């Protein structure tokens, strides 16, 4: 069974601007795929739908076989908590919380607060010495590592990364990509990477090219 499946997904923003026009996509467990395309092609919208951050106007998104259209807020929250980890372009850490607290946060919402695991993950991404810092005291690359640790803390099945290197210099960006692909290789977590940069996209096993809300090409290595 695919981890995430999109069946003829449409997303139309008011007033009648179609961002996605009939997307069909299956992501299998353990895959590393990238979705690439110019800005405005709908790739972020697609990622939001795959991560249950938004709902499609038409069509279905299935997470582990579950039709998200049929789920209420509590179940969608549970899916986001248990099956999905997000990494955003602008990190989206909570500024008032420390590095460690930011990573612990998803476990608080799942009712199984686990600071030990959070600490272990932060050590794994090389931030073991900066647990008590605030996000503002970190560099961009460090913040993205915090975000990656946070995405992993609830053992998700899939990590959705939206331009994770978009706000970083190329060297730092490369290091983040190394980290993500090694996670995919070593832990088997499914990885969906969104980028506008074909070079970045090439790191994936499967590359999906998008344009004007449609998948135009698919390349498998």
Partner 1 sequence: MKEIARLAVYNLYHRKLRTFLTLTGVVIGVASIVGLIGAAEGINSVITGEIEKFQSNVIAVVPGEFKLQFSPLSQYEGMKAGKLSERDVEEISKIPGAETVMPSVSSRVRVEYGGETMILTVFAADPEKFREIDTIGVLEGRYFRSGREVLLGYSVAKELFEKEIGIRKKVRINGVEFRVVGVMNKAGGLFRAFDTMIYVPKSSAKKYLELSGITEIDVKVEEGYDPGAVASRIEEKLKELRKGEKDFTVISPDFSRSIANQILSAMQILLGGIAGISFLVGAIGISNMMFTSVLERTREIGIMKAVGATRRQIMAIFLIESGVIGFFGGILGVVFGYGIGEGFLALRQYFVEKSGVQTVVERPHVLISPELVVAALLFSFAVGILAGAIPARRAADLQPAEALRYE
Residue located via tokens 């992993």: 152
If the CB atoms of residues 13 and 216 are measured against partner 1, the closer one turns out to be 13
Q: Does 93 help bind partner 1 (rule: CB under 8 A)? A: yes
Q: Where are the beta strands (DSSP E) in 153-195?
A: 158-162, 190-195
Q: 100 is written with which tokens?
A: 């460690």
List 10, 21, 22, 54, residue binding partner 1 (CB under 8 A) = 54
Stretch that binds partner 1, among 43-51, 56-64, 175-183, 206-214 (CB under 8 A): 43-51
CB of 61 to partner 1, least distance (A): 13
- Listed in sequence order, the residues at least 6 apart from 35 whose beta carbon sits closer than 8 Å to its beta carbon are 43, 46, 47, 192, 193, 194, 195, 201, 208, 210
The number of residues making up the chain comes to: 221
- Distance in Å from the first CA to the final CA of the chain: 21
CA nearest 157: which of 188, 181, 180? 188
Stretch that binds partner 1, among 35-43, 46-54, 175-183, 195-203 (CB under 8 A): 46-54
Q: Does 106 help bind partner 1 (rule: CB under 8 A)? A: yes
Q: What distance in Å separates the CA atoms of residue 51 and residue 205, rounded to the nearest whole number?
A: 20
List 10, 29, 53, 58, residue binding partner 1 (CB under 8 A) = 53
Q: Does 88 help bind partner 1 (rule: CB under 8 A)? A: yes
Q: What distance in Å separates the CA atoms of residue 91 and residue 168, rounded to the nearest whole number?
A: 11
List 29, 58, 59, 92, residue binding partner 1 (CB under 8 A) = 92
- Site map 160..199 versus partner 1, x via CB under 8 A: ----------------------------------------
């Amino acid at each position: 069974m695919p981890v995430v499946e999109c069946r003829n997904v449409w997303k139309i923003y008011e007033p009648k601007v179609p961002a996605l026009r009939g997307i069909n996509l299956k992501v299998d467990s353990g895959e590393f795929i990238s979705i690439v395309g110019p800005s405005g092609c709908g790739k972020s919208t697609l990622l939001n739908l795959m991560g249950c951050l938004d709902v499609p106007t038409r069509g279905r998104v299935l997470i582990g076989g579950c039709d998200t259209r049929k789920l209420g807020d509590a179940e969608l929250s549970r899916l986001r908590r248990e099956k999905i980890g997000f990494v955003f372009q602008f990190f989206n850490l909570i500024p008032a919380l420390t590095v460690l607290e930011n990573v612990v946060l998803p476990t608080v919402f799942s009712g199984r607060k686990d600071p030990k695991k959070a600490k272990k993950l932060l050590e794994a991404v090389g931030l073991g010495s900066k647990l008590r810092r605030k996000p503002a005291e970190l560099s961009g690359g460090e913040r993205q590592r915090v975000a990656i640790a946070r995405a992993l803390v609830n053992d998700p099945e899939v990590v959705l990364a939206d331009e994770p290197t978009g706000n970083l210099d190329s060297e730092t960006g490369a290091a983040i990509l190394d980290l993500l692909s090694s996670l995919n290789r070593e832990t088997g977590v499914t990885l969906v990477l969104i980028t506008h940069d074909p070079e970045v996209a090439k790191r994936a096993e499967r590359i999906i090219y998008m344009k004007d809300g449609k998948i135009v090409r698919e390349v498998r290595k």
